[in-house]
């Protein structure tokens, strides 16, 4: 319901005064230990961001970045932040996506293993949240494969999941994008 609330109003900006009530519930659900609840919360966050526009999404984006860059987060918090971030940057079109995916690439190579893990998790969710993700595979697959040799087990695991998701999702329809 929260994700579709923008489509239920004639003017989505009418919701802005109520965001202080809605966002804590979404943020709390984004950190739930159950992946399906995190996924629903991330989708709701992306839908709200799309309906409210880029200018009204900056607070959400900043909050997600803060958690992605934090060293003191649980796995559920890191995955929820990654999924929410993926949905948010996918909601505002190609130009917005391109600017933010560059940040993801840079942070996926960060010195801190928790930050690398978090931003490589963003890539995991972008594969399913951004409809034109296949266009970026030639730039992103080498990064995913590079992560398989990381010195931290968590980063290797998420990198393997990235590769598996891309092969499963794009292997039949766009095999050349995976190997170029």
Q: pLDDT tens, 56-93?
A: 788 889 999 999 999 888 999 999 999 999 999 999 88
Q: How far apart are CA 148 and CA 57, in angstroms?
A: 33
Class assignment of domain 12-179?
mainly alpha
Q: How far apart are CA 7 and CA 4, in angstroms?
A: 5
Q: pLDDT tens, 112-155?
A: 999 999 999 999 999 989 989 999 999 999 999 999 999 999 99
b/e map 28-53, b = 16+ CB within 10 Å: ebbbbeeeebbbbbbbbbbbbbbbbe
Q: State residue 1's pLDDT score.
A: 45
Task: Tell me: pLDDT of 157 over 90.
Answer: yes
Q: State residue 38's pLDDT score.
A: 95
Q: pLDDT tens, 6-37?
A: 455 555 566 566 667 777 878 889 999 999 99
């Amino acid at each position: 319901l929260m994700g579709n609330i923008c489509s239920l109003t004639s003017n989505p900006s009418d919701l802005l005064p109520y965001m202080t009530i809605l966002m804590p519930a979404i943020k709390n659900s984004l950190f739930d230990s159950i992946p399906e609840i995190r996924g629903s919360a991330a989708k709701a966050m992306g839908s709200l961001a799309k309906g409210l526009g880029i200018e009204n999404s900056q607070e959400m984006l900043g909050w997600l970045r803060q958690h992605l860059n934090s060293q003191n987060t649980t796995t559920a918090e890191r995955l929820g932040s990654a999924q929410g971030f993926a949905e948010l940057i996918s909601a505002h079109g190609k130009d917005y996506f391109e600017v933010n995916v560059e940040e993801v690439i840079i942070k996926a190579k960060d010195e801190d293993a928790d930050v690398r893990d978090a931003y490589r998790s963003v890539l995991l969710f972008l594969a399913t949240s951004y409809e034109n993700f296949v266009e970026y595979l030639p730039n992103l697959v080498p990064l995913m494969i590079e992560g398989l040799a990381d010195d931290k087990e968590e980063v290797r695991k998420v990198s393997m999941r990235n590769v598996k998701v891309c092969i499963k999702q794009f292997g039949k329809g766009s095999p050349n994008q995976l190997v170029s």
